């Protein structure tokens, strides 16, 4: 199961060529992660404040397939893809929404992020069970 989040490309996200600057896809990955947790009734904020856990990104991969441009409606599909101990992976696919002219949605990029669950001192720690169980149930639906 994946969570789909819609955003519209802002002018500030484009470069001089009118194409979305590559690093903005990583920001969209983060938007997708936050929405996955929100959909599960969880939050990054509570993970940090109530459980003293953070999820630093330790690896990222992004394959760009087609450029996004100003005012495009973008769909961010996000799903947890692996949870093993303190290591968590999310997978992403970013699409341009289908147009009113009949164009089908188009895959713009796909990738993944790898996170290590840490405490405030950057020591590995297990993901709180409430979060782990919710993410595992989402992975089981795949």
Catalytic residues: 15
Lateral strand order in the sheet of 3-8: 3-8, 73-84, 87-96, 106-116, 57-64
- Residue 119 has what DSSP assignment? -
Q: Closest by alpha carbon to 72, among 133, 10, 30, 27?
A: 10
Task: Write the CA distances from 40 to 1, 31, 34, 44, 129, integer angstroms.
Answer: 12, 15, 10, 11, 13
């Amino acid at each position: 199961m994946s969570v789909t989040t819609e955003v519209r490309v802002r002018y500030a996200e484009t470069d001089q060529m009118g194409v979305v600057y590559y690093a903005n896809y990583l920001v969209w990955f983060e938007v997708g992660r936050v929405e996955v947790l929100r959909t599960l009734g969880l939050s990054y904020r509570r993970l940090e404040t109530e459980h003293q856990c953070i999820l630093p990104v330790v690896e990222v991969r992004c394959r760009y397939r087609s450029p996004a441009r100003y005012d495009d409606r973008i769909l961010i599909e996000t799903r947890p893809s692996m949870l093993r101990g303190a290591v968590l992976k999310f997978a992403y696919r970013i699409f341009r929404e289908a147009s009113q002219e009949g164009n089908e949605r188009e895959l713009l990029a796909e990738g993944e992020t790898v996170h290590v669950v840490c405490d405030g001192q950057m020591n590995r720690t297990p993901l709180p069970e409430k979060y782990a169980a919710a993410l595992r149930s989402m992975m089981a639906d795949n």
